[in-house]
Amino acid sequence: MVHVYNCHPFASQQIVQVEQEPGLVCCGGGVLFVVAAGGCKVEAYSVEQEGCPFICRFATMGTVKSIQHSKIGDYLVTIEEKNSATYLRAYTNWRYQAEGKARVGVRLLGHLLRGASVQGGVQMEIIEIPLSTENQSQQIPQSTWPNSQQSSSQSQGQTLSSNQNCLDFERSVILHLQKIKPKKVALCGGYVAVHAELEVLVLKLDSSCEQNTLDESSDPKKTDHLEDQADFLVLQRHQELLGDRAKDCDIPVSIEKTGLEDSTGQYTLSYVLFRRFTPDFFQGCNVEETQLHSLQLYPLFTSNQSVYLEEPTCVFCFFSLPTAGYLYSLKGGVELLSAYQYPEKVLEAVLTDHLLHVITKNALQCFTVRCSAVAARIKDPYIDTTIKACPPCSLEVCALRMQLFIGLRSLCVYGRHVILLSTADAETPEEPERTTHRRGLSRKWTISSPKETSSAGHGWNLYVVDTVSPLTLYQEMVEYSQRYAETNPQAQSLRHLLSEAHLLLRASLLQTPEQQGNIEGNPTVSLQTDTDGPAEKQTAVQTGIQELEEALRQNCAQLGDCFSRGSQKDCHLALPYYRMSGLSVTDIIARNHPLPSSPHSYGPGFLFYLKHYLLEETEQILSQETADEVIDIFSQSEPSQLVSVCASPPVINISPAQTLQVLQHLEATAGVSVPLTITMATMMLRLDDLPQYRQLMERHAEMLLVYGFIEEPRLLLHGGGGGQHTHIRPTALTRQLAKSQPGLLVAAMVALHENNKVQLEQAGHIFKELGCENCLQVDFWEAMLMASSQEAVIQELLFRLVSVYIDRLTNTTSDAHPNEPHAPSRRRPLKSADDLMNSCSHYGALYPWLTVLNPAQNTSSQHQEALYKLQSLLCGPSLSVGSVVPLMERLSEESLWGFSLHLLCTTRRGQYDRSIEKLLDRCPQAIIAYANHQLQDKHMVLWWQKLLPELCNRTRAAADNSILLSALKETLVVVAMEMSPTEFLELMPDDGTAFYFLPHLLTCSQSHLLA
């Protein structure tokens, strides 16, 4: 289906003053080239200047059958015929003819002349390109080609002297196509497209360094084409093959290298698209009337690309039948974008960024295109999200106003200039035609007097029709759409027309700097005719871009309005379009006030937008009036969302008394729920009604309140919707809980972390803002150890807790934070060391020998708790002692408790020999308790290998050796029980004191006999 809108894409027209009847026309480089009918002359006219003034004229070597201009190199390529032979020629430096330089050089490609072209450098040069077969079509690539090489012919600059270049060509490869007779070829970005009468084939030619075969053809398969066999006409069935399936098209293709390029380079060929049509003779058409035409490969560059250096963002393939046109996207997957149904037989069509121009025998018409929708998605993969949107590529096309002409024959397009060639009978009056033109346009048309009709009895005209700027056409589409908006705001045509306007603006914003600066053709030649300098031109370009961006924002707001009241199917699109509009939520609410006919009805798209806006963590705070209006909107439309709305940061300025009434009404109708109760308590808190606040909070058990916070975390936290480093802040309820119910706050924060509602760093930021980082935060970490099962989190918490405990042990006089209302000296921790040892597996029971080393109860309780908790972690199974050794260096070993911590670390690291020595040096009374606990199993040998020799030596040397002697006796008891008499005798010293060991030897002998 094609929509028809009465918009005016054409601004003005002028008639080019051509002396002879045109036969062929083409455009490029800001110039219109006209070949006289049946002649051998080319005339050039400037389409960038008013009146299309004449530039130059030059002769060709034969009768021109086809002509094309190359923007890269600024040369013309022609197919000419002379003496029944066909030639392919290139005309370079043709602009010198405008300077009155008559010098012309002729040569074959690859044969550079050393005559006037080298010495003078101001001559037109004709390069003849030999053909092995008769040529019917030529094509100039509109973008880069693999390795800067083109199939058929390639332009190549060669340096003749220090300041002169000469354009040359070389044939790179030849493609052989079997079972198809190409009528036209198109090249672009490595793609090759050909079409026959009813078949289109698109190939991709890529360069490769691999030495693989170039023959990509398969064995020819049996196939029948449109041909006469006996008395029967055999027609192939209709077929469309996309992507890899196109290789099944039964058209073998092979590559022939010419050997002129680097011999190491190879080409690989892949099939991209194949389509075959079957003529519909039931419609009264013959074969000639159903042939394909207007084949075009069209590149689309985006604003961050260079047209002359990079591959295009998108490549499109367009071809047409007389009654239908087809537009395919080739890059990123082959896809049919649009099918154009023409109201009458179309003679020729040309695709551009913004529009598809087609001509019939008596009319010029424009259709919209979907190229910008494809490019926008390739450029921005996040275009179809809740943040951004763009009309779909499958959006139905529309036709703009038809402009009448008489006897149209050909069409070409350059920028905003559409060039038309018309030929009509002399008897046909001209005035009615021009009157029709004026009546069909709402803008001024400048029409020159036509030339006298030729003696052959036919009249002809060459028109240059200027299209309006995309911004102007957009504005007209907006005006046109207002008619639908006034009658039916939800009309499908309104949405479709605004989508067309959106794509029109996107196409302009996607244009490259060269296109935005209106510099087409030779990149080294500026086509501007004014005297503005580069700075002025750049300013004008930036101003134009800003106007387009502002228009796009307005269009997004209009599309948001359409989707806000639309159906449930696509109401979600209101959100990205409203975001792209840049409007504030207050403005959007004002645009969505209920209609008088439905005073309580809000569109689903608007509610969808509003919910997502309130769910997001935004810094935009609504005024009290707007916030109260939001509460009123949801109380009428979706009361079940009121708790989430009230917890949203943007509505923090809501009236608590008014909101409380709404919530109480909700509770009366929907019943009691924990999040609703907490929300009502928050309103009471804002009203400073603490008794009512406490009464509401006491309705539910603490665990139920925790579940309520899990259901709606924003009751406690604002911000934090993003990653770990997102700014997060506590609510007023959080501050109240820190004062009155710290245990509930800690339990809620633990539950939020375990349910991925808050990150560890974010929770730390909350406690820091509360001024409780030295108390509640530590309680939170300790509670997290009991709840978490993630090893990485556990190790992080252990490290932080060790650091905190060491801080408390080294700063016993100033533990409180200066701004902390609940300093450790004023509040006991939620969990004591005994509580943690009994409830948390990461806290181990204190080793028995620590009771000897722990100080008497003459220190502060917080110091004692920190010591016990740190010792418990060191006795536990989870702490990696190696990671906390650097922290332990802050603790001195002068105190007995400090020594105990260092000894724990040494022991946990397996350094028992060193631990025994340190303990005997510092506190020998604990050595037996230490040995009984630590020197077991595989470490039992240390009793007699390390401890017994140490005790013997130290007892002998000590003046007061009572403690050591007692330890020695205990050691001998253990050793005697574990060793045989022979082994025990070997341990006895040989200094004459063996009698001391005899009782233990006797015990050893008795235990051995019993064993």
Domain with CATH 2.130.10 in the chain: 11-188+288-381+403-464
Q: Phi and psi dihedrals of 376, rounded to 5?
A: -60, -35
Kindly compute the dihedral angle of the four CA atoms of residues 394, 400, 406, 408, in this order, to the nearest 10 degrees. Answer: -30
pLDDT greater than 80 at residue 209: no
Helix axes 896-908, 912-922, angle to 10 degrees: 160
| CA–CA dist 986, 500 (Å, integer) | 103
208 by DSSP, 3-state: which? strand
The region that residue 374 occupies, defined by phi over 0 for left and psi between -120 and 50 for alpha, beta otherwise, is alpha
| CA–CA dist 211, 216 (Å, integer) | 14
Return the ∠ at Cα 718 (arms to 714 and 720), rounded to 5°.
100
- Residues 663, 686 contacting (CB under 8 angstroms): no
Q: Which helix (H) or strand (E) holds 972?
A: helix 962-978
The H-assigned helical ranges of 699-843 are 702-711, 732-740, 742-754, 760-770, 776-787, 791-810, 833-839
Residue 806, CA distances (Å) to 352, 801, 856, 885, 894 in order: 73, 8, 19, 12, 15
pLDDT greater than 80 at residue 429: no
Domain 11-188+288-381+403-464, what fold? Methylamine Dehydrogenase; Chain H (2.130.10)
Residue type, 317: C
| CA–CA dist 447, 444 (Å, integer) | 10
What confidence tier does 331 reach under pLDDT thresholds 50, 70, 90?
confident
Return the ∠ at Cα 470 (arms to 465 and 474), rounded to 5°.
120
Give percent above pLDDT 90 in the chain: 47
436 by DSSP, 3-state: which? helix
* HSE-CB for 671 with a 13 A CA cutoff: 1
Q: Which two tokens stand for residue 609?
A: 């937008």
453 by DSSP, 3-state: which? coil
Give the pLDDT mean for 358-384: 92
161 by DSSP, 3-state: which? strand
**142-151, 198-207, 611-620, 977-986: which has the highest mean pLDDT?**
198-207
The region that residue 518 occupies, defined by phi over 0 for left and psi between -120 and 50 for alpha, beta otherwise, is left
Would you give the distance in Å from CA 296 to the centre of its chain?
30
pLDDT greater than 80 at residue 454: no
Helix axes 624-637, 656-670, angle to 10 degrees: 10
pLDDT greater than 90 at residue 610: yes
For the chain, the maximum distance between any two Cα atoms, rounded to a whole number of angstroms, is 150
| CA–CA dist 578, 612 (Å, integer) | 11
Q: What does the pLDDT look like over 95-128, one tens digit per residue?
A: 888 877 678 888 888 777 655 444 445 788 889 8
With tokens 């094309």, the residue in question is 68
* HSE-CB for 888 with a 13 A CA cutoff: 21
- Name which of 805, 924, 933, 913 is nearest 864 in CA terms: 805
Give the pLDDT mean for 199-220: 65
Q: Is the dihedral of CA 855, 856, 857, 858 positive or negative?
A: negative
Query: How long a stretch of residues is the chain?
Result: 1011
| CA–CA dist 110, 367 (Å, integer) | 44
Give the pLDDT mean for 973-980: 80
Write down the pTM of the prediction: 0.80
Q: What is the CA radius of gyration of the chain?
A: 45
pLDDT, greater one: 519 or 369? 369
Q: What's the pLDDT score for residue 824?
A: 39
Q: Which two tokens stand for residue 520?
A: 């087409």
Strand partners, 3: 398
Give the pLDDT mean for 607-613: 92
Q: What's the pLDDT score for residue 541?
A: 81
What confidence tier does 288 reach under pLDDT thresholds 50, 70, 90?
low
Q: What's the pLDDT score for residue 583?
A: 93
Give the pLDDT mean for 981-1005: 69
| CA–CA dist 666, 663 (Å, integer) | 5
What confidence tier does 791 reach under pLDDT thresholds 50, 70, 90?
very high
Give the pLDDT mean for 537-566: 90
Query: 888: Cβ–Cβ under 8 A, 6 or more apart, which residues?
Result: 806, 901, 902, 905
The conformation of residue 89, written as its DSSP 8-state character, comes to E
Query: Judging by DSSP bridges, how do beta strands 253-257 and 173-177 pair with one another?
Result: antiparallel
Strand partners, 155: 169
- Residues 564, 603 contacting (CB under 8 angstroms): yes
Query: Judging by DSSP bridges, how do beta strands 124-129 and 104-108 pair with one another?
Result: parallel
Q: What's the pLDDT score for residue 381?
A: 83
Residue type, 206: D
Task: Give the 3-state DSSP-derived string for 219-257, with helices as H, strands as E and coil as C.
Answer: CCCCCCCCEEECCEEECCCCEEEEHHHHHHCCCCEEEEE
339 by DSSP, 3-state: which? strand
| CA–CA dist 937, 765 (Å, integer) | 47
Q: What does the pLDDT look like over 49-66, one tens digit per residue?
A: 888 899 998 899 999 999
pLDDT greater than 60 at residue 859: yes
Q: Which two tokens stand for residue 576?
A: 């990205």
Of 86-100, 711-725, 903-917, 966-980, the range with the lowest mean pLDDT is 711-725
Q: What's the pLDDT score for residue 812?
A: 60
Count of helices and strands (H, E) across the chain: 33, 36
| CA–CA dist 20, 516 (Å, integer) | 35
How many C-beta atoms surround the C-beta of residue 986 within 10 A? Answer: 10
pLDDT greater than 60 at residue 396: yes
Q: What's the pLDDT score for residue 721?
A: 53
The region that residue 408 occupies, defined by phi over 0 for left and psi between -120 and 50 for alpha, beta otherwise, is beta
pLDDT greater than 60 at residue 451: no
Burial class (CB in 10 A: 0-12, 13-18, 19+), 845: exposed
With tokens 């269009």, the residue in question is 555
Of 377-391, 678-692, 845-859, the range with the lowest mean pLDDT is 845-859
Give the pLDDT mean for 803-827: 61
Q: What's the pLDDT score for residue 139?
A: 80
- Residues 972, 1000 contacting (CB under 8 angstroms): yes
**Strands of the 31-36 sheet, one edge to the other:** 22-28, 31-36, 41-46, 54-59
The conformation of residue 510, written as its DSSP 8-state character, comes to T
Q: Which two tokens stand for residue 503?
A: 């794509």
| CA–CA dist 348, 853 (Å, integer) | 100
Q: State the average pLDDT for the chain.
A: 82
Give the pLDDT mean for 232-261: 80
Q: Is the dihedral of CA 778, 780, 782, 784 positive or negative?
A: negative
Q: Where are the beta strands (DSSP E) in 22-130?
A: 22-28, 31-36, 41-46, 54-59, 63-70, 75-82, 85-92, 104-108, 124-129
Query: 546: Cβ–Cβ under 8 A, 6 or more apart, which residues?
Result: none
pLDDT greater than 50 at residue 509: yes
Secondary structure (DSSP) of 469-490: PHHHHHHHHHHHHHHHHHH-TT
Query: 167: Cβ–Cβ under 8 A, 6 or more apart, which residues?
Result: 73, 75, 90, 92, 125, 127, 155, 156, 157
pLDDT, greater one: 76 or 431? 76
Helix axes 861-875, 896-908, angle to 10 degrees: 10
